[in-house]
A and B are shown apart, each in its own frame.
Chain A
Amino acid sequence: MKRSQRIAAAWLLLIAFSITLHLWQLDARTFHSDEAVHAKLAYDFAVLGNYRYDPTYHGPLLYFLTAFIYWILGDSDFTARLGIALCGIGMLWIAWRIRRPFGGSAAWWAGLLVTISPLSLYYSRFLRMDMLEMLTASAALLGLYAAFRWSDRYSDWKWVGIWGALAFATKENAYITAFLLVVTLILVAFTFGFRSYFEMALRAARDKKYGLAIAVGWYIICVLLLYTVFLKYPDDWSFTVRAVRHWAYQHATERVGGPWWYHLLPLLQYEFLILGAAAAWVFRRRQLRPVEVGLFLFGMASLVMYAYLGEKVAWLGVHQIWAFIPLAAAQLARTFGPRGAWWSRTLAGAGLLMTLLASLTANFVLSEISPNMDRVESLHYVQTSPELKAIVDDIRAQSALGEYPAAIVVGDATWPMVWYLRHDPVRWSLSGVKTRPPVVILDPEQEQSLCGQLCSDSGYRRALVPLRSWWLPQQESPGIYGLLRYLVTRKPWIEVGTRKVLVLQRACDARITCTLGCCR
């Protein structure tokens, strides 16, 4: 087989592998409340044309993308997540583009790493905008690097502007990325001689002033059109102020806080291969190129920045590992290349296998979290419990039988139920209840408000069902044994926390079979 054929075959296999991992049983896992919010907002956009930018739900691009997919393929749990899954697959295009300056082999390894990375794969199968941000920001930064280094065409600068606009229209992490980029450039300049690099930067900016202006022009046009929804809401032109103000407040109040080392645990548990290989590349090379130094410093600055930021949530890990991927890929290309040592290959092979195992386990075997399960992945953080799906199926069965309303849902269960039951007749309020719907879901604390209407009615079976479950390992120190046991068996050293909801089901109707065991 010729070399070009071998390369083509390797990439085709990788693409097929990526497609399989990203799309297989994409709709199986229960929708997180955030996923339900994003899916429903995009649905309203597709069906009713209603969408307006709100910094709470991040930038508009995810909603445009998902609404477009609904418009083409219809709305379902699968199509809701499809856009983000395609972004995960699309990272292979980013990997392809780093052939220059990292070489073809490193590019392929980068593609493999981003495919099997547990964090990247999990959040490529999760309807949040983090992988979309990774894709768009990577494309913008790669384009900027290429435009400065070797390509100065109008179209190249145009795409820098467009990809940059898409990154800023996705998630506010783009502001952090831009800040980190500036910090990194300054640090690189200090590393290689500040004065000479500063003068070089000024010369480059002067030489590329037309290109930079083109990029800025296209950026302005694209962000304005996206944020204002094609000028439907012109007031949203000041989205930057609103976004920064909103998220600065979230940072200050630490709405979802945590210790500075919050991200280190999952990064070390799941991304040890990427971090380890990147460190090996950086510290074992005699001389690093500025781009390699830049990537390493950017990655380290990301770790510091996200350790500092007040909002601590699991998906932010994605934004911290991406700069290390090309470096790790370069190391793996060397390890598995002609000059790789046997021990290095053994170590890397074991790392690859363990990473793949961790990724498959977290995404397909232990993909849910529940107090009724004795194993848990720390990656999942907070997740809707799978027990809720049985309730959804019951309500849909009632709706199919013509029950109106098929259910009353209030309290914490509203999300994700608003997404799951969007096509079913459901009441979302307890006030003025005059009917006896087949299913009522409410917070346990609200049970008293039903008295006189339903709770004294012996025609209802009562059950407490887990709505959301979480495992927060940083709350208690495990000790060495607890930690090792967890790493090998995934048995947690502290209990899985859960929030339960009260589910009332009307006494058996001969027409249907209830899944909570109320029918004989």
Chain B
Amino acid sequence: PVQGLGWVHRGTSFPALLLYAGVLLVPVSGYALSRLNMRQIPTRPRRLLMLSGAALLLLVASASGRPALVLSGALLAALIQTCCKQAPGNIRPALILATMGVFLFFIPEIVYVRDGYDADIFRLNTVFKSYIQAWVLLSLALPALLAQWLPDALKRRSVIAIMVLVSIAHPAALVVRFDFANAGLDGLAWMHVEDRAVVEYLGVLNERAIVLEAKGEAYGESGRIAVASGIPAYLGWVNHELVWRGGSIAPELNRRQAVVEKVFSQTDPLAAAALMQREGIDLVVIGPLERRLYPAPALQTIERAGRTAFESGESRVIRFP
């Protein structure tokens, strides 16, 4: 859960910001520059003013050690100025969207939302949640801004073509990594055939139940049955529970981890059954993952302690009343 706000002491590196959002921020910057409205200044002083401004901005960005903050802040200021002072009515909605988008790139450089993550990735959630929205807002605003900035269709299309070409690296990199041999829309095709059968059985169970399966690290196979079937897990991904619920949940998580270890190392069927009843566990899955991680005698103890409700190959769903 949210644990308050913190000041950012280490921001986004500028090349990283350009890599992620340069395709949007550069055209927006071009638009903002074009709106500075310096036409009344003679050519030579105007060029000098712009050059001096750019040099000074770069110097401040470097010397501050926070170039992403300084440059996004400068862009934000320019957009706000344009929005408030110069924008005709029909462009103002797009300008507001663009300003909000740039704001969402700017604000994670100043504050972040505290959560359970450590010092190395302290801004992770703030950044990716903020940046995703910023991308959407800027993408919506850019067509209108480009139309005003580049009334010449050829120039505008050239800029758009460059933006598309630059952006294509992201989807192209994904496509290159596709496993076309296993292409399809079945999101559970990766599952072991026995696990798949267990999931299909559990998926049509019309009852409130808690399922216990092997414990493991996040982003791995642990929690697979609960995720695929919809039956709540006794214990899923521990770190995610900590992030979502906060540090106060840690004692309960530690307790449940110990219970899972105890269940999968039990040799007394009566003790195992008592443990399930005390913890409110209705179903235990013994599948390929459990057979790989836990000793066979413990798994046999669980089978003797309960009743086999479903089997597929060597996999079992053991029910406890």
Contact = CB atoms under 8 A, between A and B. Distances in A.
Contacts of B58: 220-221, 224-225, 231
Interface string B31-75: 000000000000011011001101100110111111100000000
A231 B16 CA distance: 10
B63 A237 contact: yes
Contacts of B201: none
A210 interface: yes
B52 A213 contact: yes
A17 interface: no
Nearest to A230: B15
B65 A231 contact: no
Contacts of B14: 230-232, 234
A236 B62 CA distance: 8
B125 interface: no
Contacts of B47: 154, 214
B51 to A, nearest CB: 4
Contacts of A228: 62, 67
A217 B65 contact: no
A218 interface: yes
Nearest to A217: B51
Contact of B64 (A220, A234, A236): A234
Q: Chain A, interface size: which category? A: 20 to 34
Nearest to B68: A231
Contacts of B81: none
B13 interface: yes
Most B CB contacts (10 A, CB to CB) among A213, A216, A238 go to A213
Contact of B54 (A217, A232, A234, A235): A217
Interface string A375-411: 0000000000000000000000000000000000000
Interface in A143-201: 154
B51 A218 contact: yes
Contact of A231 (B45, B54, B55, B61): B61
Contacts of B67: 228, 231, 234
Contact of A234 (B18, B52, B63): B63
Nearest to B43: A154
A221 B63 contact: no
Contacts of A210: 44-45, 48
Contacts of B18: 230
A232 B63 CA distance: 12
Contacts of A225: 58
Nearest to B63: A237
A232 B55 contact: no
Most A CB contacts (10 A, CB to CB) among B18, B58, B64 go to B58
A230 B47 CA distance: 23
A235 B63 CA distance: 6
A236 B65 CA distance: 9
A214 B61 contact: no
A404 B127 CA distance: 44
Given A154-B44, A154-B47, A210-B44, A231 B62 contact: yes
Contacts of A231: 13-15, 58, 61-62, 67
Nearest to A232: B15
Interface string A231-245: 110111110000000
Interface in B1-30: 13-15, 18
A230 B18 CA distance: 10
Given A217-B54, A230-B15, A231-B14, A224 B62 contact: yes
B41 to A, nearest CB: 13
A390 B103 CA distance: 61
A216 B18 CA distance: 26
A19 B13 CA distance: 42
A220 B44 contact: no
A230 B51 CA distance: 17
Contact of A214 (B48, B59, B63, B66): B48
A248 B15 CA distance: 33
A217 B13 CA distance: 24
B58 to A, nearest CB: 5
A224 B59 contact: yes
B48 A232 contact: no
A221 B59 CA distance: 8
B61 to A, nearest CB: 6
Contacts of A217: 48, 51-52, 54-55
Interface in A315-336: none
B172 to A, nearest CB: 19
A157 to B, nearest CB: 10
Interface in A227-274: 228-232, 234-238
Contacts of A232: 13-15
A21 B30 CA distance: 46
A235 B65 CA distance: 6
Contacts of A214: 47-48, 51
A234 B55 contact: no
Contacts of B44: 154, 210
A224 B70 CA distance: 15
A224 B61 CA distance: 10
Given A231-B14, A232-B13, A220 B55 contact: yes
Contacts of B45: 210
Contacts of B64: 234
Contacts of A218: 51, 55
Nearest to B17: A231
A210 B41 CA distance: 14
Nearest to A49: B15
A159 to B, nearest CB: 13
B21 to A, nearest CB: 14
B52 A221 contact: no
Contacts of A237: 59, 62-63
A50 to B, nearest CB: 13
Contacts of B51: 213-214, 217-218, 221
Nearest to B51: A217
Nearest to B54: A221
A133 to B, nearest CB: 23
A218 B47 CA distance: 11
Interface in B265-318: none
Contacts of A213: 48, 51-52
A222 to B, nearest CB: 10
Most A CB contacts (10 A, CB to CB) among B44, B58, B62, B67 go to B62
Contacts of A234: 14, 61-67
A208 to B, nearest CB: 12
Nearest to A236: B62
Contacts of A238: 63
A231 B13 CA distance: 8
B55 to A, nearest CB: 4
Closest 7 CB pairs of A and B: A237-B62, A231-B14, A217-B51, A220-B55, A231-B67, A217-B55, A234-B62
Given A213-B51, A217-B55, A234-B61, 13 more contacts: A214-B51, A216-B55, A220-B55, A221-B55, A221-B58, A224-B55, A228-B67, A231-B14, A234-B64, A234-B66, A235-B65, A236-B62, A237-B59
7 contacts: A154-B44, A218-B55, A224-B58, A229-B15, A231-B14, A234-B66, A237-B62
